[in-house]
Amino acid sequence: MAVLAVLGFAGVWWLASARHWFTGPKVQGTPEELAAIELEIR
């Protein structure tokens, strides 16, 4: 029940406020640089 309350509050907050200013994480690097890093990790 508590989880539903938190999710409900977060959803209402996002609809009322955050969707107007939250743009998500910033990508740092070009697609080529990110692909090279992913190949190194594997």
Note the pLDDT of residue 23. Answer: 81
Could you read off the pLDDT of 12-32 as tens digits, one per residue? 988 888 878 878 888 888 999
Find the helix or strand (DSSP H, E) in which 19 lies. Answer: none
The answer, yes or no, to whether residue 39 has pLDDT greater than 80, is yes
Cα(8)–Cα(34) distance, rounded to whole angstroms? 35
| pLDDT mean across residues, the chain | 88
What is the predicted pLDDT for the residue at 6? 96
- Phi/psi at 40 (5° precision): -70, -35
Q: What span, in angstroms and rounded, lies between the C-alpha atoms of 29 and 40?
A: 15
One-letter amino acid at 29 equals G
Instruction: Name the pLDDT band for 35 (thresholds 50, 70, 90).
Output: very high
* pLDDT for the residue numbered 22: 79
Domain boundaries, the chain: 2-41
Residues in the chain: 42
